[in-house]
Structure 1
Amino acid sequence: MAPQSAAKAAPDTRILWIIAAGCGIGLIGFGVRSDFGLFLLPMVDAREFTKADFGFAMALQALLWGLGQPFAGAMADRYGTARVLATGGLLYAAGVILGALSQSAIQLYLTLGVLVGFGMSSASFMIVMGAFARLVPAEQRSWALGIATASGSLGQFLLTPLGAVLLEAFGWETAMIMTGLLCLAIIPLAIALKSRKAEPHAAPSALSWHAALAEAFDQRAYWLLILGFFVCGFQVTFIQTYIPAFVQTRGIGLDIGAWAVSLIGGFNIVGAYTAGVLGGRHSKKYLLVMIYLGRCVAITAFMLLPITPASVLVFSAVMGLLWLSTVPLTSGLVAQIFGLGSMSMLFGIVFVSHQLGSFLGVWLAGYLFETTGSFDAVWWISVALGLFAAAIHWPIDERALNRAAVA
């Protein structure tokens, strides 16, 4: 293991530049994606495709983002973060710009679906986290991972209103092209995250990618992290997607539902940053246990108490604090247990589980609402899954893997 003195030798200004550049990438990646919903209605009115076609393109994008993440992570581990991020930024920009010019459903699938999906997998804050783990000194690592997570929510908070302003001022097609051009800023920002072999904590892994995978899948801790992140994806995507509709079924206006989503994003900035700071000082697995239990308590109280505008907003603020606070802790555990050399790839596989949970949460909620007329069952399923996630994180062995013992 690299001595801490080597990590501390890096100038503070360079570390701050690395963090600023990585957060800029996370801000753009998440922020631009949050704009897509603004373009749904004007695109459908102007082009030869339907709302269902647009929805399928978004679903395809989310799926490919998840499936592409481990491969992008493996490429970043092997060939360098900067190259992967720059390639992702180019694909992302091309997908958004060509999506604005799409005339048919097939073109929409290939642009906003395939190109953007793979672009996001290569230019996401997941790749940034792998770079932070290698380039930021160990004593600052958890804090940096928390900031990287928070930057995505800040992008959603800032760029969604900006997208609305551009749409109003220039029309949807020009506004969408302009947001696509913004993705090109990822390319110069990626240069700051280029690994330097002179830094011991940035050195590549001695394991090949297949050996690293075999090692990880042989460890119970890795499987437990994968299962836990599945629960996270189920819960957060269900709530984010359906809370506006849920509050309307309880006789509350859509404006409160919109504020609920906004509050979740705003408070997530605080929650993710705080989790990163605490993860550098306390046991990450026990913090994850507390987060999942906290979600269970919040959902249970929300469902048992009268649903009012005030309760919706309070619940959204609390959930925002617990929202993506799992990300710096889960990614930090992957780095802590398995080391830094294959961290991007290994966390990418954990993220696939998150996206599969997201898919199931959204699909199941829609199906049960169509068949029962209520979202209540999915809320209680979320509570049960949260208890399950809390229970499986408790026995995780947080110690760094002793490779001599498993050889």
Structure 2
Amino acid sequence: MFNSIRRPDVLSVTLAAAGILMVTMGTRQSFGLFVSPINTSTGMGIATISLALAIGQFTWGAIQPIAGAVADRYGPRLVLQAALVTLAIGCALTPFIENGFGLAIALGILASMGSGAGSFSVLIGAAAQRLPFESRGTASGVINAGGSFGQFIFAPLLQKLIQSMGWMGAMWAMVVATLAALPLVGKLTGPTTAAPQHANDSKLGRAILAALKNPSYGLLHAGFFTCGFHIAFLVTHLPGEVNLCGLPPSVASWSLAIIGLANVFGSLYAGSCVARYRSKYVLAAMYASRALLIALYLWMPRTEWTYYLFAAGLGFTWLATVPPTAAIVGKLFGTRYLATLFGLTLLSHQIGGFLGAWLGGLTISRFGDFSWMWYADMVLAMLAALVNLPIKEAPIGKPFIPPQSPLATDKGTS
């Protein structure tokens, strides 16, 4: 499984990207643990805090294509350095905030811009341009696993820090961790080793317009929208759901950690599946499994072990959708503008994320529980499984070969 990334140069690039994602995703995916402490400390209200985090969900997605375009044009080094510093600034300012507007600026915009610019689109795009074709599928799985491992490490650690140092001290600890990742940027952003691109590469604007006209690209976005809705709802409101059941906060933090640990294995498995199966079928199976797991969760009693088993099941596909999604984008359009085009796909993911976080807050405020959100999430997961099936995808193992047009087409694929 890992033979394709054992070369020292390939392994160095892959692990550096995974390390950066571990910090940016581990930080971002733990923000939900701060909802209750911030509310207790400031009295802002759950709905107000949820809106700030929902803005963060959208911002995280909106910055992806912008950061990807800048990285495609000028290189990823400065983008990633600025991302980590901006994430640190957003976290450092949060303890001084006492109202919803300020929280939206600190966590909703600054921290989310930083974590987004240092996330999947730029990292996978930078790695893909420095890796041989046969290594990219496995490498994307390892990089993705880095983000999940960050969630596994950060969630229980931050919960302990919140209990021992208070939420402000825990927030400042994230600042230190973020800045400590800066040396990894140099390891990732060395000279490119991938094959040079075709001389007739299109300009970025033309590439984006051509991609947006591709029906398969649109279907991919529709499925990824649901993924964002699902993840943002759970990351933001799982602690609240656990609290409604009368269970201690540690159950929520360990559930998030289990999700992260399970997704390490899920991401590695997804990376290997990209080389063996059509990515659209991998995605359809993942989304369908989520609908089934939610149905089982609604049927089961709300106990500590229910949450741990639910977390393990969901965690296996949590962000394991990223390698097959990025693989489809790469098959359709090549790697030259992968950071930008995959960034746009992540934007659709985070539009769903905005709705998942925000509507979750409105639902608990209006109805007193999250039942309607669970039902909506289950239906959307089934729809996501279905919309991936018509995507036209190149045969397994076939690298991108630019035709007369600078972008790949769907002709001859299914």
- Tell whether the structures are fold-level matches, with TM greater than 0.5: yes
- Between the aligned partners of 2:238 and 2:166, the Cα distance in structure 1 is 29
**Deviation for aligned residue 1:198:** 5.8
1:297 counterpart = 2:292: yes
Query: Deviations for 1:263-320, whole angstroms, at most 9, x for unmatched residues?
Result: 2222111111211111122211111111112112222233345555444432221111
1:214-253: CA deviations, max 9, x gaps?
1101111100111010011122222343344445556766
Partner of 1:23: 18
Residue number in structure 1 paired with 2:123: 128
Distance 1:48 1:273, change over 3 A: same
Using the alignment, how far apart are the partners of 1:374 and 1:42 within structure 2? 19
TM normalised by structure 1 equals 0.85
CA contact (8 A) 1:142 1:280 kept: yes
The alignment of Structure 1 onto Structure 2 pairs a total of residues equal to 399
Are 2:63 and 1:68 aligned?
Answer: yes
Structure having the higher helix fraction is 1
SS of residue matched to 2:181 = helix
Query: Normalized against structure 2, the TM-score is what?
Result: 0.84
Q: Measure how far apart 1:338 and its partner are.
A: 0.7
Q: Note the residue ranges of structure 2 that are not aligned, 5 or more in a row.
A: 395-399, 408-414
SS at match of 1:207: coil
State the match for 2:410 in structure 1. Answer: none
CA contact (8 A) 2:32 2:235 kept: no
> What does residue range 91-240 of structure 1 map to in structure 2 within 5 Å?
91-102=86-97, 107-164=102-159, 173=168, 175-194=170-189, 196=191, 199-200=194-195, 206-240=201-235
Query: What secondary structure is seen at the aligned counterpart in 2 of 1:281?
Result: coil
Q: Equivalent residue for 1:262?
A: 257
CA separation in 2, counterparts of 1:321 and 1:81? 29
Distance 1:247 1:99 in 2: 25
- 5+ long unaligned stretches in structure 1: 1-7
Distance 1:175 1:64 in 2: 23
Identify the range of structure 1 (135-144 vs 200-209) with the bigger mean alpha-carbon deviation: 200-209
C-alpha offsets along residues 142-174 of structure 1, whole Å, 9 cap, x if unaligned?
Answer: 111111111112112213344455556666555
**In 2: Cα distance, 1:102 partner to 1:376 partner:** 32
Q: Corresponding residue for 1:278? A: 273
Distance in 2 between residues matched to 1:146 and 1:369, nearest whole Å: 35
Matches of 2:198 and 2:177, distance apart in 1: 32
| Distance across 1 between alignment mates of 2:232 and 2:238 | 10
**SS of aligned partner of 1:200:** coil
Partner in structure 2 of residue 5 of structure 1:
none
Q: How many percent identity over aligned positions?
A: 33
More deviation in 190-199 or 45-54? 45-54
Q: Which moved more, 1:157-166 or 1:114-123?
A: 157-166
What is the CA–CA distance in structure 1 between the aligned matches of 2:291 and 2:244, rounded to whole Å? 22
Give the distance between the partners of 1:236 and 1:18, measured in 2 at CA: 27
Residue in 2 that maps onto 1:13: 8
CA distance in 1, matches of 2:310, 2:242: 12
Compared with structure 1, are the counterparts of its residues 381 and 169 closer, same or farther at alpha carbon in structure 2 (3 Å cutoff)?
closer
Please say if residues 26 and 124 of structure 1, whose CA atoms lie closer than 8 Å, have aligned partners that are also in contact. yes
